[in-house]
Amino acid sequence: MSFREYLGFAGFELKDTDVQRSEIVHHFLNYLNNGGFPEVVLETDVDINHMRLNEYFDSILLRDIVVSKKIRESSKLIELANYSLTNISALLSYMKISKAIGLSVSSVKEYLLFLEQAYLIYQLNFFSYSIKTSLAIQKPRKIYCIDNGLRNAASFKFSSDEGKLVKNSTFIELKRRNLDVYYWKGRKEVDFIIKNRDNTLTGINVTYTDVIDKREIKALLEFKENFQGRISELILLTRNVEKFEDGITYVPIWKWLLVSGG
C-alpha cells in the first residue's frame, strides 16, 4: 500500500504536513521498516509480524516457485532470494551473483525470473533509448523487493540498511504508479530514471540525509548533460531538505510519497 494508505490504516488523519511533520516522520519510519501489508500495519506485536512476514516469504518460495516450477535446488533458490534481498538497490550482474552463491549464470537468470514472476522482487534495468542496450545481459541490474517488511524479515539486515530501504520505498511507489522505471550510470549514477509518455526523462536520486553529498547533485547534472533537451525534471529526495536549486527539486522523501500517493 502507499504511504498515504498506510497512514489511514494506522488511524492517522492527515491534515497539515507542516504542522504534523514530526508525527508523519514517526509513521514513515515505521512504514520504512515494517512495510505495508495490512495485517502487519494493524498488528503491534513485533514477533508476530516477523513470523507472519517469514511465512509470506516461505509461501512465495515453496508454493509459488519450488512446487510449481519443480525446482530441485531449493536451497540455492532460498540462498539467491536472501542474497538478492540483502543487496537491494546495489548493482548486481548475473556473474557476480553466480560467484557469490555458487550457482550457474543460466540458473541465476532463470531463478531471478521466477522470483519476479512470483512478485517478490523486481529487476531494474539500465536506461538507454536502445532496448538492446538496456536489456543487454552484461549490463548490471538492480533488484528491489515488493515490500520493505518482507525484505527485512527474509534478508541479512545491517545497521546501514536505512538508505537501501528508502530507495526501495521510492521504487515501490514508482511501480505503484505504473511508471516506466530504469537506473542510469555514467561516471556517476542516478538511482531512478522515468521514461515519460512524451519520451522525456525524469531523473531521481535518493539520499536520506540533510547533508547532501555533492556526488548526488553531480550525477543528476551529468545525466542532464548526456540527455540535453529530453529532461523533464530532476529530483533529489532527502530527509528534510526542501528547495529548488540549479534545476533540481529537493523534497523530503516522506512528503514526496504523500504527494505521489493516492
What domains sit in the chain, N to C, each tagged with a CATH number?
1-44 (no CATH), 54-156 (1.10.10.10), 165-261 (3.40.1350.10)
Mean pLDDT value of segment 187-193: 98
Summarised one tens digit per residue, pLDDT across range 216-231 is: 999 999 999 999 999 9
Mean pLDDT of 22-32: 96
Residue matched to cell numbers 504542522: 19
Mention every residue, 6+ apart, whose C-beta is less than 8 A from residue 215: 188
Q: How far is CA 175 from CA 6, 49, 72, 132, 169, in A?
A: 17, 25, 32, 22, 10
pLDDT band (50, 70, 90) for residue 139: confident
**pLDDT given at position 129:** 84
Other Cβ atoms closer than 10 A to 207: 22
